[in-house]
Amino acid sequence: MKLSQRILQRMTAYPPFYQAVWKACAQIPRGQVRTYGWVARAIGKPRAARAVGQALGKNPFAPAVPCHRVVGADGRLTGFSAPGGVAAKRRLLQREGVLKKTL
């Protein structure tokens, strides 16, 4: 997804690392997920998966920066700071067809 000029301009108020994380996350297509490690590698910081999680936890640009599409290395739904936590992350991914609804 291409970020709007307005969002890109607002991002400049944040550290360059956060900007890089958010821009990489914005490239994850709807209906797909990536890991924190994938994002870290995508920005050239392969050992920074935890820092990626921290940056996504401070994401003020959702849903343009779809941080719900980032999962743990083992595929688990982890770390979602939006209201509703991981349950909200699960619902968003179900709507995108990534996860099947459970009874």
Domain residue spans in the chain? 5-95
Over range 29-45, report the average pLDDT.
97
Give yes or no for residue 103 having a pLDDT over 50. Answer: no
Quick one: pLDDT at residue 2?
Answer: 85
Position 43 scores a pLDDT of 98
25 catalytic residue (yes or no) = no
Q: Which of 28, 33, 67, 77 is catalytic?
A: 67
Average of pLDDT values for 76-98?
A: 90
* CATH number attached to the domain at 5-95: 1.10.10.10
How many other C-beta atoms are found inside a 10 Å radius of the C-beta of residue 25? 27
| Predicted pLDDT of residue 1 | 67
> Average pLDDT of 11-31?
97
